[in-house]
Structure 1
């Protein structure tokens, strides 16, 4: 994994990224979720079977090792910065993007601006609008910590365990908890305010209208989602099952079961290969 900075001059910042694979290969961009970092994609960046691709995992502003830029934390600004990052990396060529959780929902919010994407693989990221939240998500008290301004070490550990499968090893829990503690809590509170003020865009409508191939996936032990919700989506470009469920994983299947996730990613890449 090669650390690098991705300048975004229009936003007066630069995002921290990790790169791997063939710099001349087809681009695959990985976008982590709420309070998570690019380091969680090590099972993809280091995977021998993916090295023919140019692999880039990025840290959103205020998350991972990217700078804390509070002016970019509102989801509309965060989404705009994310679009700029993907466009900068793609350099006018189609890209396949993997969006995890909040990272995926930011991409869904901006989907009309991303019609040139080769494909979008969404992990734990159901397309929603304000009216759909209760139907799509199943947050208990621990899950609600994803909107908390500050988290103690114990809360970060509890949230990490909640995101992972029941028998997740201590090393995985420690990795996720470290990312959660490193995150700027203002990213979470800006998201909570955005939702509370009814500002979510109609992601369901975006999915119904897009020409971009889409795939939805999560782990079989996912706690945050109602799987049946995905059957209700009008998604003409959806690839494969309404929701791909990966074994031995919960909310972070790319970390918990990289073999199964990478197999799914390769199949989606083959299905969206350019002529």
Structure 2
């Protein structure tokens, strides 16, 4: 894997890695309480060799600093603004985004913040609307009162989060626990609270009216989302004209089954280039 670099933004000092691939630039955005290392199979594999991949740690996560102003940054819109600022600082004028879980919601919001996007792929990120019941329509379980939203986690909760977030059949690596342990707990509690309250642009409207090609590639066995809900929405700019549900795979298909997932990612990047 390439060396870890840092860059200062108005939100936090961000840690990131990038590859030397000559193709379409790709920003990779991780999920709640994880880090850029979940994309290591892509960074170190054929995707990183073919495309210029940039994978960073969100403020309050991984090797990035905690947010300068948690209330401003620890929400989908704040994270999206930090991501846009990162790519501007790197002088990358046109790029695609791959967003996983929270990262997918960030990717959707980036469509409202910048015209630099060439395309967006999301995975494990139900495009929810706003208002009462919106979160439960897209997400399975009560995420507003789950460990995903708690500021302070016990040792057992950290273990559970680390082992379950990618899916029960996904490989486990020590960095998953390290990432949950390191995460600024305010990042969880503030983000979920604001998502549940509908703060910011309507995520569903952003997805349905995407100004660039939107690819959706989920695991069919993702325990955290309602696949049927995601598949039946009337998207206007959906890549392949369908939502892809990968059989037998959980919440993080790029981590659990990288060879399967990367075939979709590569084809998408080629199509939008």
- TM-score w.r.t. the length of structure 2 is 0.88
CA distance in 2, matches of 1:194, 1:49: 34
**What SS does the corresponding residue of 1:130 show, helix, strand or coil?**
coil
Deviations 1:87-109 (A, max 9, x none): 333532x2111011111102212
**Partners of 1:141 and 1:198 in 2: how far apart?**
14
Measure how far apart 1:156 and its partner are: 1.8
Correspondences of 1:146-225 after superposition (within 5 Å): 146-169=148-171, 172=172, 174-225=174-225
Between 44-53 and 185-194, report the one with greater CA deviation.
44-53
Between the aligned partners of 2:194 and 2:47, the Cα distance in structure 1 is 39
Distance 1:226 1:107, change over 3 A: same
Shift of 1:45: 0.6
Instruction: Decide whether aligned partners of structure 1 residues 20 and 227 sit closer, same or farther in structure 2, where only a CA change above 3 A counts.
Output: same
The residue that corresponds to 1:109 in the other structure is 109
Check whether the contact 1:36–1:176 (CA below 8 A) recurs between aligned residues: yes
Deviation at 1:187, TM superposition (A): 0.2
Change (3 A) 1:165 1:190: closer
**Contact 1:129–1:200 (Cα < 8 Å) also in 2:** no
Q: How does 1:39-58 map to 2 (within 5 A)?
A: 39-48=37-46, 50-58=48-56
CA RMSD of aligned residues (A): 2.3
CA distance, structure 2, for counterparts of residue 155 and residue 178 of structure 1: 13
What does residue 76 of structure 1 align with?
77
Displaced runs of 4+ in structure 1, greater than 4 A? 140-143
What residue is the counterpart of 2:246 in the other structure?
246
Quote the Cα distance in structure 2 between the aligned partners of 1:209 and 1:254: 26
1:89-108 matches, cutoff 5 A: 89=90, 91-92=92-93, 94-108=94-108
2:16 aligns to what? 17
Q: In structure 2, what is the Cα distance between the partners aligned to 1:143 and 1:222?
A: 19
**Per-residue CA distance 1:161-217 (angstroms, 9 max, x = gap):** 322343344xx1533222111111110011133135442421121223332100112
C-alpha spacing 1:66/1:228, structure 2 compared with 1 (3 Å): same
Query: Bigger CA drift: 173-182 or 58-67?
Result: 173-182
Query: SS at 1:51's partner residue?
Result: helix
Summarize the alignment of residues 25-44 of structure 1 with structure 2, pairs less than 5 Å apart: 25-44=23-42
Measure, in 2, the Cα distance between the counterparts of 1:223 and 1:119: 26
Shift in Å, 1:155:
1.0
Contact in 2 for aligned 1:96/1:119 (Cα 8 Å): yes
Cα separation, partners in 2 of 1:46 and 1:81, compared to 1, 3 Å: same
Gaps of 5+ in 1: none
Q: Distance in 1 between matches of 2:85 and 2:215?
A: 22
How far apart, CA to CA, are the structure 2 residues paired with 1:17 and 1:214? 24
Return the offset for 1:226. 0.7
CA apart distance, 1:124: 0.6
Q: Is the 8 A contact 1:109 1:203 kept in 2?
A: yes
Please list the CA deviations of residues 39-59 of structure 1 after superposition, one character each: whole Å capped at 9, or x if unmatched: 111100111354021111110
Structure 2 distance, partners of 1:91, 1:109, is: 18
Tell me, yes or no, if the aligned pair for 2:33 and 2:188 is still in contact at 8 Å.
yes
